[in-house]
Structure 1
């Protein structure tokens, strides 16, 4: 009990003033990101860049936020399109369209969703086929942050948060624990050389696992430049992560399954999830290199470090191998 209290005190920090901070959020028109933006504004944020794949959808989300909060021109919400997490060339063009006099104190890498299909899907890049969940949930974010830094758009001591998920350590009955016995096994999965039968939930879990490996390496390599935190608010209903499901299945998941899980205390609304993300972004929760999510065996609950829940999350050989893959793909 004492150890749990000390960990909680370590993960939850003092309030931060964000009224003078510049914030960038990818996937900003998604349900979870929209709720996060509303919470950030409620906490004093005045300058937010909404980085979206579709500028038109971003503008709709911006209007919803402004109308609901009644902030008018009190908050500078800029919408930038072109942030397609499956297309590094489009991401590069989008980064170049950012105001060159604007640098960011906080970056929230929230873009991504699950691939619901009967078999693995691939993104073609640099002559290679890469598993699509990993590409759009992690690699697109990696490229985004890399280009932000290369263009001197990240302030010293900035805070970078990537959306995590409890699937990185497994959820009994829902997502198998991602396990790779060797670096070669991880590489074969990423490049679709050798894979288990496709399960969308397990695949999203592996993508969140890769995000955790990335966070560990980023926290080590760039510890003197910025913080990198992997954070999950817990299982959330009504988000856009299910948008690739057929309409009826999506309706069933959001209106039946998640309703039941919410009543059972196993899921939460986007509003609650957004509040938690905002707390992490403004510095109330988490330190460099932390992987923070729900308690072991649960999909929602008190903020808990995830690393010990899956030994592969601290496997340095896997961390280094995944970083090597990223360098091979995106360093040129």
Structure 2
């Protein structure tokens, strides 16, 4: 009886594994065929000489390619990340490929409000302007845990941390207007389901919480762009975006079996390279036609529809107020 029970349990687990793989494959196939059939490319040739750009998570993936492109256009680029060694390698790479030596590193840990406050104080003391702020850094697939500030780790790194950082740099952005704020969200924001009262909490069992808070963090990014568009001067462009399906290491913390399936599908479906994934980010940083566009959501370098819930002005305001409360 015991062996029979074990056999059926393993069979159920195996079938669940196959079902998850098939559903993931079908979902990705639908996305590639219906939504990402054409990869958008930033067509602007705008130069950024004399301007200062800050890119969080700029030492790898989409952030690295964004920093490279902004440097290639003449900007002074500050890479804000945790890893000094990897950032040094990234800077060496950017300088070698662009010829722009104005690329610098500053330590920033978005999972600690104390680190964010120190970073902002140092930045405000060192630099006299901030023309472009790219809130790119993010995490996904991490096991649910709380930060030292008592907030769900993924929610803090992906949303509350960037929220605080932007708030502390707002005066520099206003002083440098016309300036831009770019928020890297995701199409997964469509699966977000926000409860303002538990916005900072771990909700549900481990696997559910892992995806639940990632999706919510990306929905918060869309809501946040809308709130900033209402609260900041008109000369500050602020928008969110979906970079596309990009093969990066953001989901390295996923369970090994699921990560193997995910990486296999990345190859099978020709996921974007980080350079391709950075195109919409760069578009929002430099394109002349979006300087006066505010509170919108972009994909493939074009404005697209976001989740309808983000049009709820009451929700936008309540999430804003909760965010101010938690980061004060």
Instruction: Please give the per-residue CA displacement for 1:11-48, whole angstroms capped at 9, x wherever unaligned.
Output: x8965331221111111112111111222233x22311
Aligned-partner SS, 1:135: helix
1:257 has 2:282 as partner: no
Residue 245 of structure 1 corresponds to 254
2:208 aligns to what SS in structure 1? coil
Secondary structure of 1:115 counterpart: coil
Distance in 2, Cα, partners of 1:324 & 1:247: 38
CA contact (8 A) 2:192 2:218 kept: no
Taking the aligned partners of 2:219 and 2:205, their CA distance within structure 1 comes to: 16
The DSSP-based 3-state class of the residue aligned with 2:139 is coil
Structure whose residues are more often helix by fraction: 2
Tell me what 1:224 maps to: 234
* TM-score, scaled to structure 1: 0.76
Q: 5+ unaligned residues in a row in structure 1: which ranges?
A: 1-11, 170-176, 294-300
For the 8 Å contact 2:174–2:233, the answer to whether it is kept is no
Per-residue deviation at 1:328?
A: 0.9
Aligned to 2:243: 233
1:122 aligns with 2:152: no
Q: What's the Cα RMSD here?
A: 2.7
**Counterparts in 2 of 1:196 and 1:324: CA distance versus 1, 3 Å:** farther
Alignment partner, residue 210 of structure 2: 200
Structure 1 CA distance for aligned equivalents of residues 254 and 131 of structure 2: 35
Correspondences of 1:173-188 after superposition (within 5 Å): 177-180=191-194, 185-188=195-198
What is the aligned partner in structure 1 of residue 312 from structure 2?
315
Are 2:142 and 1:142 aligned? Answer: no
1:153 positional shift:
8.1
| Contact 1:108/1:160 (<8 A) preserved | yes
In the superposition, relative to structure 1, how do residues 66 and 152 fare at CA in structure 2: closer, same or farther (>3 Å)? closer
Tell me the equivalent position of 2:302.
303
Count of aligned residue pairs for this structure pair: 284
Unaligned runs of 5+ in 2: 1-41
Query: What is the distance in 2 between the residues matched to 1:302 and 1:38?
Result: 18
In structure 2, the partner of 1:274 is 278
- Runs of 4+ in structure 1 displaced over 4 angstroms? 12-15, 150-154, 193-197, 246-252
- For 2:224 and 2:106, the matched residues in 1 are separated by 25
8 Å CA contact retained: 1:291, 1:305: yes
**1:75 paired residue number:** 101
Residue 113 (1) aligns with residue 136 (2): no
Q: If you compute each CA radius of gyration, which structure gives the higher value, 1 or 2? A: 2
Contact 2:55–2:135 at 8 Å: present in 1 too? yes
Residues 243-291 of structure 1: CA deviation (Å, up to 9, x unaligned): 323667546533x1201121xxxx3111111233212211356421111
1:140 shift after superposition: 0.8
What is the Cα deviation at residue 233 of structure 1?
A: 2.1
Shift of 1:165: 0.5
Deviation at 1:324, TM superposition (A): 1.1
2:186 corresponds to 1:165: yes
1:3 paired residue number: none
Question: In 1, Cα distance between the equivalents of 2:80 and 2:167?
Answer: 15
Partner of 1:47: 76
